[in-house]
Structures are given as C-alpha cells and as structure tokens.
Amino acid sequence: MAVEYDPAIIGRVFEQTDPQPVAAEDIKTFCQSIGETNPLFTDEAAASAGPYGGLIAPPSFAVTFRNGRHFFSLVPRFGKTGFDAGKDVEFVAPIRPGDQIRLASHVKEIYEKTGRSGSMVFVIIRCTLQNQNDEVVAHIDHRFMSKA
Amino acid sequence: MATTLDLHCHSEASEDSRAPVEAYLNWIKLRRDERPLDGIVLTEHRQFNRDADYRALEDRFGIMVLNASEVETDYGHMLVFGVNDDILSRFDFSDIRLNAQEVIDGVAAMGGVVVPCHPGRPNIGLCDHYDKKPPLENVLAVELLNGGSRKGEDQRSAELIKRHGFRATGGSDSHLVSLIGLCATRFEARVRTIEELVSELKGGRFEAVDFRPRRSAVPRAIPVEAR
C-alpha cells in the first residue's frame, strides 16, 4: 500500500527558530574543535586581506545551528522505526561574526523505495539558514528513513 | 567491432548517489587498462531524465553516455532500456509497486527492453520472488554480474540464469565514482545509440564481463622472526 500523506505539507514551513548570534569566539572554538587552521577562518588580520574582507566561518559551521525545540516531534513519521539517513549541506554564502542566523524548516520531499531490508519511506526536511539581511547562507537537507 | 558498456550505474541524479557523470568519465579514462569501457548507461532510480544531454562530456572524454532507468516492481528492481514518451506515459516510474509483467510486456511493445537487475539480492531480486510466485514471462536477460553484490548474490543469479536459460548482462550498480565499470556487458556489435543497445539486448548478442580485481587468498601470517 502506497504511503499516504497530505501533499499540502510539502514546502510548508513548520518551524522557524529565533535568530542565533554568531560570535568570533564561536568560530574560533569550532575551528579548534575540528583542527581547522586556514587563516581565512582563524586569523582576523589575514582574513581581512583575503577574498571575503574579514573573518568567516568554515562552511561546516552551518551544521552547528540547532533546530527548534519541537523539530523532531513535527517531522512527519511513517511506520514504527527509523533513523537519521544522512544530511546534504549546500553552502550558499559565508557566515560571519556578528551574523544573526535563523533556521526555517519545511518538508522538501517524501518518497518510497525498496531495498534489501524491504520498503522504506524517506522524508527530506530542508532547513534554510538565513542571516539578519534575509540572505540565505546555507540549506541543510536532513534525510530521515522510516520502516513499517 | 565489440562494444563494452557498464549497463547499470547511478549519478547524483539518484538520491542515494553522489557521483557526478564527469567524475565517472574521468575515472574510466584514467583506468581504461583495468576497465576497458566504451561507455556507461545511467540507470537512475525511479526516474528518467529525458532532457539530460552529455554530448559535451562524451566528446571531451571519448566515452559514450546513454540514459536508461531502474524501476521497482512486485518482482524486484528492473532496468528499463529504450525509455520513450510512450513508456513514460504508461508507467509511473516513481511507483515502487509496478506490476513487473506489465512493465516487461508494455516496455517491449513500446520499443524498449527490461532487464531484471541483481536477481540474487534479497527482497529486491528476482530469485526471492521466484521462490514465492510464478515465474515471469518474456524475460530475455537478467543481470548476472552486479558490482554491488554481496557474497553469494551473484552465485544465486547464476543459478537462476542457468535454470531459466536467460541471457546475462553485467553492470557495476555504481553509486560511487571509484566503482564505475567493475562489471559490464560486452556486445559483439558496435553500439552507439540507445536504439542499437535495445536491438542488441533483444538479439542476445552479448556477455557479462567482470573487471573486479581478484581477491588474493587470506594473507598468511608472517612469522615473528621474519618481521
């Protein structure tokens, strides 16, 4: 039996977070934690002379922003079990110290497939990160798999 | 003039692959001595991109790129070659419960050909379904060699092929760049278009070829004094 859901949920933002401030110290700590030494991300003086005119966060910093408190309870579920099946991150614009980043989440896609273990339903939740200027800085697609 | 094609691979157009077509072609170009392919056939999951145009890449690398599809049916996964507007109008490729017999017969009637893939794979291969249901009619060939097979799966496929007298194809089922071309199909004739591919598949003039590196025996322990 085909998976049933209300198609109107596709594309509708179901949660939006409050702006989360980005401090230079946050970027520094993140770089230390992953061993990042590129001066574009770690050295304000060197970064000022670089292509971005100042310090920016490493691209993977985008995944440190937390979803809203109700994110997981709002994700559509199919079946009894499931797991996080991975993430795709699209980096659009640099994140800089002083930015205020907010996340808006919507269901991008729901699809079924079959594999060695049987049929599965995948729900793709797209979290779009925007800064205080409404500029999109990244998209994070969370892939959740459910099994009956 | 023979033609060797990887008949089963997925590019980043499939949701579970991250392999760009350009990277596939570059990999093949660099390793043609190990995997002597003339081309690849993209078989994206549950879709067919009729607008895909890889001519610039084909010219750049000298490697052919053809388009097909992998669909999901009540008898497991199947490769559809020669996809056209009539076939796309008749079948919803995103449906994971397609009727296999209808797909095989419908596609053939509309100028294409269907090849069940990885038949030895649990749940989504023909073998499991043949254990529980009557065999399908009008199956010309099935995939014998699949680069993603686990231990014993190709053997199950071989037994099925022997039992039913199918012709056998090969494909890498690559989702990663480095796996492209590990298994392929060698055609007796020159194949340059999807129409020629369909014709040769229907004519049965091909064989599965295996380019997977042979695994050496389990390494012997090195005596301590020799280390």
**A2 or B188, which is more confident:** B188
pLDDT of the residue at B224: 59
The answer, yes or no, to whether residue B226 has pLDDT greater than 60, is no
| Closest C-alpha to B200, from B137, B141, B143 | B141
B6 CA: distance to closest CA in chain A (Å)? 21
Q: Within the 93-122 window of chain A, which residues sit less than 8 Å (CB to CB) from chain B?
A: 111-119, 122
Instruction: Identify the closest residue of chain A to B73 by CA–CA distance.
Output: A114
pLDDT tens, residue by residue, B32-65: 999 999 999 999 999 999 899 999 999 999 999 9
Average pLDDT, chain B: 95
- Look at residues B121, B126, B136 and name the one whose alpha carbon lies nearest to residue B173: B121
Alpha-carbon distances of B3 from A95, A98, B193, B201, B205, rounded to whole Å: 50, 59, 11, 12, 11
pLDDT band at B217 (very low <50, low <70, confident <90, very high): low
Question: CA-nearest residue of chain A to B122?
Answer: A116
Average pLDDT estimate for A74-87? 88
Task: Evaluate if residue A17 carries a pLDDT over 90.
Answer: yes
* Residue to substitute from B95, B96, B175, interface A, most A β-carbons within 10 A: B96
The domains of chain B, with CATH numbers, are: 3-212 (3.20.20.140)
Cβ B123–A113 below 8 Å, yes or no?
Answer: no
Asked if the Cβ–Cβ distance from B96 to A119 is below 8 Å, we say: yes
Is B72 in Cβ contact with A113 (below 8 Å)? yes
Q: How confident is the model at residue A59 (pLDDT cuts 50, 70, 90)?
A: very high
Residue B129, pLDDT above cutoff 90 = yes
Are A2 and B121 an interchain contact pair (Cβ–Cβ within 8 Å)? no
With pLDDT > 70 as the criterion, what percentage of chain B qualifies? 94
Which value does ipTM take for this structure?
Answer: 0.83
Please give the pLDDT value at position B1.
Answer: 84
d(C-alpha A31, C-alpha A11), whole Å: 34
pLDDT of residue B223: 60
Q: Is the predicted pLDDT of residue A101 greater than 70, yes or no?
A: yes
- For residue A122, the chain B residues in CB contact (below 8 A) are 15
The residue that leads in pLDDT, B50 or A46, is: A46
| A7 vs B: CB within 8 A | no
Q: According to the model, what pLDDT value does residue A75 have?
A: 84
- Over residues A110-131, the mean pLDDT reads 95
Partners of residue A101 on adjacent β-strands: A20
Tell me if A101 sits within 8 A of A19, measured CB to CB.
yes
Match 């591919």 to its residue by tokens: B197
Residue type at B37? L
Asked whether the predicted pLDDT for residue B173 surpasses 90, the reply is: yes
Identify the three-state secondary structure at position A115. strand
Q: Which fold has domain A8-147?
A: Thiol Ester Dehydrase; Chain A (3.10.129)
Q: Report CB contact under 8 Å: A113, B96.
A: yes
Bridge partners, B209 (sequence order): B184
CB–CB contact B15 A119 (8 Å): no
pLDDT band at A2 (very low <50, low <70, confident <90, very high): confident
From B223's Cα to the closest Cα of chain A, the distance in A is 40
* Lowest model confidence (mean pLDDT) among B6-10, B212-216, B220-224: B220-224
Angle at B111 between CA B107 and CA B112, to 5 degrees: 55
In tens, the pLDDT along B103-128 reads 999 999 999 999 999 999 999 999 99
Measure A63 CA to nearest chain B CA, in Å: 19
| Residue ranges of domains in chain A | 8-147
* B6-15 per-position pLDDT tens digit: 999 999 999 9
